């Protein structure tokens, strides 16, 4: 990676804004209260996840302070294009040097087709345009893909754009939207000196968590609209299963790179909740001072979380 840029919508939504407009703000909070809830277990039994979450249980917004939402007429693609222009300018090259664009648009501005070709058109590029989807891990998967393609000699400079438009798919009467935000990021990937760049990677599927979050269609004023939903078991399943997912792939990646946790100056990861950086720090036995999070300022922005934290 030779450059990185992030962009957010103009509109800032505070907790007070949500209290004023949401009928659920002063009443029961079924989704967020069930999703991120405490567990009736002893201190020893409840684990790192619940321990990290505990300080936020009294907060109806579970640690979210502000989030950025798209205005009517504002698009995720416009944010991707703005981030792309900045990333290209910072990369030391020009737009003509970009040979491939990989778009991770979650979800794109139109049904059925991703944003990649549209972004290329708005930037005036002659590059190939691919769309890639891997939910909140999409940006990291796109980066791994770009690195592999460059190492194989297929391309020299690749532009990755990522965006999240969660606010389009949440409703005022469902508190799941209280911790969701919008944003975009872009990075230029090119060859770097030996010993820099991507040293190793490890990944595995999360089939056991399929269905925890999903998109459904709902009729609104006679039109069909996608909305995001959380399964009632989502919080419990995440608490029970993600230790194994995260610890396993982290250890594998470190082993492949030939480094230990103590050698890491900064640990950057997705932060889909306010307590996630504390949770992973405890899981990997890393001091919290060696981690970073932008969650209080932007909420959960899906695939934009990782580049946002790295940029921060």
Structural domains in the chain, CATH included, are 3-191+201-311 (3.40.47.10)
pLDDT at position 239: 79
**Helix H or strand E segment including 235:** helix 234-257
Residue 42: per-residue pLDDT: 46
Dihedral sign for Cα 40, 65, 279, 206, please.
positive
Q: What is the pLDDT of residues 155-207, one digit of tens each?
A: 999 999 999 999 999 887 788 889 999 999 999 999 999 889 999 999 999 89
Taking only the tens place, the pLDDT of each residue in 132-146 is 999 999 999 999 999
Alpha helix locations (H) across 30-185? 30-35, 43-53, 76-90, 116-123, 138-151
Q: Please state the φ and ψ torsions of residue 210, each to the nearest 5 degrees.
A: -60, 135
Give the DSSP H or E segment for 255: helix 234-257
pLDDT at residue 97 in the model: 96
In this structure, the strands spanning 3-7 and 213-220 are unpaired
pLDDT in tens, 209-250: 898 888 888 887 778 788 888 888 888 888 777 888 899 999
> Given this model, what pLDDT does residue 33 score?
53
pTM beyond 0.75: the answer is yes
């Amino acid at each position: 990676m030779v450059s990185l840029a992030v962009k957010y919508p103009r509109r800032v939504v505070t907790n007070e804004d949500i209290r004023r407009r949401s009928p659920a703000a002063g009443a029961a909070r079924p989704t967020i209260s069930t999703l991120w809830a405490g567990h009736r277990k002893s201190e020893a039994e409840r684990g790192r996840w619940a321990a990290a979450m505990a300080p936020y249980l009294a907060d109806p917004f579970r640690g979210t302070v502000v989030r950025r939402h798209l205005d009517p007429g504002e698009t995720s693609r416009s944010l991707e294009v703005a981030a792309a222009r900045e990333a290209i300018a910072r990369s030391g090259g020009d737009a003509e040097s970009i040979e491939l664009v990989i778009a991770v648009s979650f979800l794109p501005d139109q049904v059925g087709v991703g944003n990649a070709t549209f972004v290329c058109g708005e930037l005036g590029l002659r590059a190939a345009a691919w769309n890639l989807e891997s939910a909140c891990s999409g940006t990291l998967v796109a980066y791994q893909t770009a690195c592999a393609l460059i190492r194989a000699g297929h391309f020299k400079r690749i532009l990755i754009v990522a965006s999240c438009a969660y606010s389009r798919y949440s409703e005022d009467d469902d508190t799941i939207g209280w911790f969701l935000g919008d944003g975009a990021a872009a990075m230029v990937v090119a060859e770097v000196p030996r010993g820099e760049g991507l040293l190793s990677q490890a990944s595995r599927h999360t089939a056991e968590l399929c269905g925890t979050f999903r998109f459904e269609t709902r009729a609104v004023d006679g039109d069909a609209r996608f909305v995001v939903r959380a399964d009632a078991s989502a919080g419990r399943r995440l608490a029970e299963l993600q230790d194994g997912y995260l610890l396993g792939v982290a250890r594998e990646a470190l082993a492949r790179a030939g480094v230990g946790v103590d050698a890491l100056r900064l640990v950057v990861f997705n932060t889909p909740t306010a307590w996630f950086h504390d949770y992973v720090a405890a899981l990997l036995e890393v001091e919290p001072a060696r981690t970073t999070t932008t969650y209080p300022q932007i909420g959960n922005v899906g695939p934009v979380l990782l580049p946002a934290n790295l940029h921060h």
